[in-house]
Structure 1
Amino acid sequence: MIRKFFIVFIGMIAIVLINSQQHKSHRPTPVFRERITQLTLPNNATAIRENIIDNFSCENRIYGYYADIDNECQIFHVCLPQNRGSIRWSFICPAETVFNQETFVCTRVNNSIPCEESEQYYILNEEFGKEDEPENPEDATYDPLDIDNELPVTPFYPRDLRARRKPVTSQNKNRHSVSLDN
């Protein structure tokens, strides 16, 4: 009886494994979409700007944020160069604001540089990722390569804390209690 059960059990496992292998071989090969070339703005972008022009290109641009002058700086793009071409993400500023190329944020028009001057500020994108060098090397507060600059580290283990803590007894109980009668 056990032998029949064992043979039936092994047979069922074999059928399940064969079926799962067949399903894997019939799976469709994924089709990858080509690069998205149009603007990827929210659906309600035309509520902020009716006539959106899609002429901006990230080709031959370094990584950075770029005001779209054709759209009066209400739209800006983030460009990321790749080995072949570049990737562009597009964003629209909230109503009554424009992208300020000088500060890389959306601001009110009267707080921003004139949109038509934005292109001369594209060079500010070269500053992304750079760290300010101290004017005087002696002013540097931390040198990670200087071994004398490291602080000694004492390992902490919670069980050490329990070992150091004195148990509350009837003699020291009053020292640890808090009186609320004031």
Structure 2
Amino acid sequence: MDDDDMMTSGPVEYPTYHEVPRGLSFKCRDRGPGYYADPETQCQVWHWCLPSGQQFSFLCPNGTVFSQAVRVCDWWFNVDCPHSPDLYSINNDLYKDKDGNLI
């Protein structure tokens, strides 16, 4: 990302990444399976954690960030990125059978 690759969105400047940055601190180990916004990237990156612990990382299109509340990329003004970790528990409804067992 170049210094010029910033998008100003109200009081917050969002990066305009062209690829998922290397060396992010987010790791799927010790997390349940699901979709996770990455506040380290102002939520422009999101991670998919599989039940096996395998991790895949994705980039939202420029101008959008990952909404943990609805688990999709959305316009920046609809997302409260700093509070995304407070919503990580919504992933608890994923990957479970009808009896609530992890599949």
Q: TM-score by structure 1 length?
A: 0.41
The residue that corresponds to 1:89 in the other structure is 56
SS at match of 1:119: helix
C-alpha deviation, 1:118, in angstroms = 0.1
SS at match of 1:81: coil
Deviation string 1:121-151 (CA, Å, 9 cap, x unpaired) is 000000114589xxxxxxxxxxxxxxxxxxx
Q: Does 1:126 align with 2:96?
A: no
Deviation string 1:102-130 (CA, Å, 9 cap, x unpaired) is 00000001112x11100010000001145
Work out which of the two has the higher radius of gyration on C-alpha atoms and give 1 or 2.
Answer: 1
Q: How does 1:92-103 map to 2 (within 5 A)?
A: 92-103=59-70
Q: Does 1:71 align with 2:41?
A: yes
Deviation string 1:57-96 (CA, Å, 9 cap, x unpaired) is 00111110000111110000000132xxx20000000010
Q: TM-score by structure 2 length?
A: 0.70
Residue 80 of structure 1 aligns with an amino acid whose one-letter code is: L
Identity over aligned residues, as a percent? 37
Distance 1:93 1:125, change over 3 A: same
Unaligned runs of 5+ in 2: 1-14, 99-103
Aligned-pair RMSD on alpha carbons?
A: 2.4
Counterpart-to-counterpart distance in 2, 1:92 and 1:107: 12
Deviation string 1:28-57 (CA, Å, 9 cap, x unpaired) is xxxxxxxxxxxxxxxxxxx93279351110
8 Å CA contact 2:33–2:95 kept in 1: the answer is no
The residue that corresponds to 1:135 in the other structure is none
Counterpart-to-counterpart distance in 1, 2:57 and 2:39: 13
The residue that corresponds to 1:152 in the other structure is none
Unaligned runs of 5+ in 1: 1-46, 133-182
The residue that corresponds to 2:77 in the other structure is 110
Counterpart-to-counterpart distance in 2, 1:115 and 1:131: 30
Instruction: Indicate the structure with greater strand content.
Output: 2
SS at match of 1:91: strand
Counterpart-to-counterpart distance in 2, 1:94 and 1:118: 18
8 Å CA contact 1:67–1:99 kept in 2: the answer is yes
